[in-house]
Structure 1
Amino acid sequence: MIIRTTTTAFAAALAIAGAAQAQDFQPKEKGGIVLNVRVTDVAPQGSDPITTLAGASTGLRAKANYDVMPTIGLTYFFTDNLAVEAIAGTTQHTIRAKGGATNVNVKDTWVLPPVVSLQYHLAPKAKVSPYVGAGVNYMLFYGGDDKNGFDLKIDDGFGLALQAGVDIATHERWSVNLDVKKIFFETDAVDRTNRIKTKVTLNPWVASAGVGYRF
């Protein structure tokens, strides 16, 4: 899903950028602000064993599904090359218990995972301008419903994020943005009603494509 979405978006971005080669554009520069509106695919990667509260194995593992939602990012440039970005959005995920013939929904939950990253832009004056970044995120679990007799409580917490992306200038203040992040996040979940617990290792790949406007 991530590869297909990103490849399609990248092809479209190159087509737009190619058509815009003869047009003027505003380069990245110190004091600039960029607003990116993106479509984002959040794909958790972890699969953790579910145990009893005493630590005995249940033979089951916890797994969260992916979700695709809109997100926004706001970037401020301290210098032509150095910038900070704050990213906000919310996604909904289903946590399942899987093992052998068992595959049941445990909980639907919303996650608010804001990310703040420090970025280095390698070619701020170019039409095709790549960047890399690193930062922190906070996973806030809210809303949703427990399923099939479960009563799962998931702890909020901080994680780390790595980022790589590219801005492709189109015309004047507009650009196409492609962005990929790897977020490293692990938390604990406990169901005291059924006396079970699990780690929840999300470690999602976060792939985005969208448009940007430079103020």
Structure 2
Amino acid sequence: MKKSILTIALLSVISITNAADYKAGDIVVRGGVTNVTPNSDHSAVMLGGADSTMSLAVDDNAQIGLNFVYFYDKNWAIEVLAATPFTHDVTIYDPNAILNVDGAKLAEVSHLPPTVSAVYYFDTMNNIKPYLGLGLNYTVFFDEGFESAPKSLGLSNLALDGSFGLSIQAGFDFNLNQNWHINTSIRYIDIDTEATFDVGGNNIGKANISIDPTVFSVLIGYKF
């Protein structure tokens, strides 16, 4: 009886092991949760070209993550990262009470960070398939807007430039059967943007923001 149970278990492992192998032409679609955690460093705010002693920081946000992968062979693939728009609170730090808004929520900004990566899957003899990736990201910002309190202080017309940057990632697929798997990954994306805004109707406000987020994803995938 014990030998029969052991035999069934070994056959199950072999079946999953075979299911773990990708091949040329395979297409993988994934969906789940993606969390963007920006670099916590504060970005200096310039007014009229001079350091105002104020700074900005951007908080993290989680959204539905989407992922599409096309395999050229069992090791190499092209991956496209997509998601529903991320929305971040922007906090202003004002230690010298220039505007008396230290620690206040300054604004909200939304962005989409589509990323295309070349991915290399390592050969393994089990159902866990680790990989590394290198890619190019373009982040577009939209719906930038000041909160009502900053508006009352004369701040308006917030705008953030789009950003091109590199992305590096590491992750793995845990195959459940021939088609379904669980994916988890961590990546760093280089996102740098210039924020400009008006103060009292004059276009004198500027901050170079290094968002440079760490992106965590946990997704369910299906192989076609």
* TM-score bracket for this pair, using the shorter chain length: 0.7 to 0.9
- Deviation of the 1:193 alpha carbon: 2.9
Report matched runs for 1:197-212 at 5 Å: 197-212=206-221
Which secondary structure does the structure 2 equivalent of 1:123 belong to?
Answer: coil
Would you say 1:127 and 2:127 are equivalent positions? yes
Which residue does the alignment assign to 2:44? 49
In structure 2, relative to structure 1, the CA distance for the partners of 1:82 and 1:22 (3 Å cut) is: closer
In 2, Cα distance between the equivalents of 1:182 and 1:42?
A: 10
Q: Any stretches of 5+ residues in structure 2 without a counterpart? A: 1-11
In the other structure, the counterpart of 1:110 is 110
Q: Aligned partners of 1:124, 1:114: CA distance in 2, in Å?
A: 29
Residues in 1 aligned to 2:176 and 2:188: alpha-carbon distance in whole angstroms: 27
Which structure ranks higher in relative contact order (CA pairs < 8 Å, sequence separation ≥ 6)? 1
Q: Is the 8 A contact 1:109 1:143 kept in 2?
A: yes
Please give the per-residue CA displacement for 1:19-41, whole angstroms capped at 9, x wherever unaligned. Answer: x7475435211110011112011
Aligned length: 195
Which is greater in Rg? 2
TM-score (norm 2): 0.82
Identity, in percent, stands at 26
1:92 aligns with 2:98: no
Q: Distance in 2 between matches of 1:189 and 1:130?
A: 38
- The answer on whether the counterparts of 1:48 and 1:63 sit within 8 Å (CA) in structure 2 is yes
CA distance in 1, matches of 2:124, 2:180: 14
Q: Deviations over 1:125-184 (max 9, x none)?
A: 641000000111111111253222132211112111001000010122000101111001
Partner residue of 1:77?
Answer: 71
Contact 2:45 2:53 (8 Å CA) reproduced? yes
Which amino acid is the alignment partner of residue 182 of structure 1?
Y
Q: Is the 8 A contact 2:22 2:73 kept in 1?
A: no
**Candidates 176, 179, 188, aligned match of 2:194:** 188
Q: Which runs of 4+ in 1 moved over 3 A?
A: 20-24
Gaps of 5+ in 1: 1-19
Shift of residue 196, structure 1, vs aligned partner? 1.6
Query: Is the Cα–Cα contact under 8 Å of residues 39 and 68 in structure 1 kept in the other structure?
Result: yes
Query: Is 60-69 or 124-133 further displaced after alignment?
Result: 124-133
Looking at structure 2, the residues matched to 122 and 23 of structure 1 have their Cα atoms a distance apart, in angstroms, of: 19
Distance in 1 between the 2:81 and 2:222 partners?
A: 15
AA in 1 matched with 2:44:
P
Question: How many Å separate the matches in 2 of 1:104 and 1:111?
Answer: 21
